[in-house]
Amino acid sequence: MIAGIIGATGYAGAELVRLLSGHPKVEKLTLSSVSFEGDKIENIYPNFLGRVSLPLLKAEEVIAASDVVFAALPHGVGEPFASACMDRKIHYIDLSADFRFDDDEAVYSAWYGKEYKYPQLHKNSIYGLVELNRQKIKELAKKGAVVIGNPGCYPTGGSLGAFPALAKGLNCPDSPIIVDAVTGVTGGGREPSRSFHYAECADSVSPYKVASHRHSPEIARNLSMMAAAGNNSAPKVIFTPRLAPVNRGILSDIYIPLKKEWSVTISNANLPPSKEIEAKTNEIRKLYIDFYKDEPFVRILPEGLTAATNRVRQSNYCDISVHVDINGSTLIVTTAIDNMVKGAAGQAVQNMNVLFGFDEKAGLDAIPALF
């Protein structure tokens, strides 16, 4: 199989090159880059020297030569390429936000300031969070070429951490779910900007786009879908992102107010966690383990271990740790992903594996790099 990558010289595109070059079902790669057209990928990223020596072509050449196309492009420019892929009846996996909202143009336009140029494409696209839409992706693939909207990095960690609680109706429907997340600087892409300049972000953790980040509606939509699947009401969501001076990773703390029947009555919250708190935490952890028992890339951590970004580095895993606060009324779920893999390129490869019926772990089964 030949896999094409449009936008191969951005961070997510280069990560796709790294992952797909070792994929057992990918025989050849074709790459394109507007910024570096005519150059070779190893001249842009010397880590590919001696391993991947490929010219950077025009996007049209990549589409014509490929069996599946990945697009790691800015928001608002991918629709023509998706249309060209559908004309050739080949799958198109988009890492931007262009196909994350299906045919809900109003939400996309409000948050991204762009309108759909090919509305029909969005009626036949599918949101590519595999743990949410695996069966739908498989069913669409049986009918022909599919456009996949690869999820955002923040929504991946935030959604996976909350899904079991919402599916089982643990949350208090009258209270909002709070998602606080910290990301590394690669989340801002390869193009330089002031906020990601070393002097601006080193030795500091800072919130940004508070109450206005455009991943907010994606998280809210995902949680509403999972709540509906469990016949539960949709929660309100409060999302705050933060930037940390690290290259990779997203750590999300998700605060889920518990229904009374899932809460623990505490007489003195100033004391250490009670046996009742520990028992409730274990009960909910078992619920999470059961919910994700068939998911190859979701790891529910055992008691005493808390999710951390260094343990998922360069992997497609989402690590989840489960905690009940000392008041007994709030579930605290911590998730860790590599924003460049499970939050972008790895998730895209996972989608390709599902589309083609490959082993879902193909090309993604490396042990995380701890250091």
Query: Could you tell me if 1 and 26 are in contact, meaning their C-beta atoms sit under 8 angstroms apart?
Result: yes
Helices (H), the chain: 11-20, 41-44, 59-65, 79-87, 105-112, 119-123, 130-143, 153-167, 198-201, 216-229, 275-291, 346-356
For residues 337 and 154, give the distance between their C-alpha atoms in angstroms, rounded to a whole number.
9
For residues 232 and 97, give the distance between their C-alpha atoms in angstroms, rounded to a whole number.
27
For residues 280 and 251, give the distance between their C-alpha atoms in angstroms, rounded to a whole number.
24
* Residue found under tokens 């507007």: 34
Which phi and psi angles does 141 have, rounded to 5°?
-60, -30
For residues 168 and 371, give the distance between their C-alpha atoms in angstroms, rounded to a whole number.
37
Q: Of 85, 153, 172, 318, which residue is the catalytic one? A: 153
SS3 79: helix
Amino acid at 58: K
Query: Could you tell me if 321 and 301 are in contact, meaning their C-beta atoms sit under 8 angstroms apart?
Result: yes
* Residue found under tokens 């029909």: 120
For residues 176 and 173, give the distance between their C-alpha atoms in angstroms, rounded to a whole number.
8
Secondary structure (DSSP) of 129-185: -HHHHHHHHHHHHHHS--EEEPPPHHHHHHHHHHHHHHHTT-B-TTS-EEEEEEE-G
For residues 229 and 222, give the distance between their C-alpha atoms in angstroms, rounded to a whole number.
11
* Token pair of 333 as six digits: 């779920």
* Token pair of 120 as six digits: 């029909």
Catalytic, 153? Answer yes
Sign of the four-CA dihedral 319, 264, 181, 295:
positive
What is the strand order of the sheet 28-32 is part of?
A: 56-57, 28-32, 2-6, 68-71, 91-94, 147-149, 125-127
Q: Which residues are catalytic?
A: 153
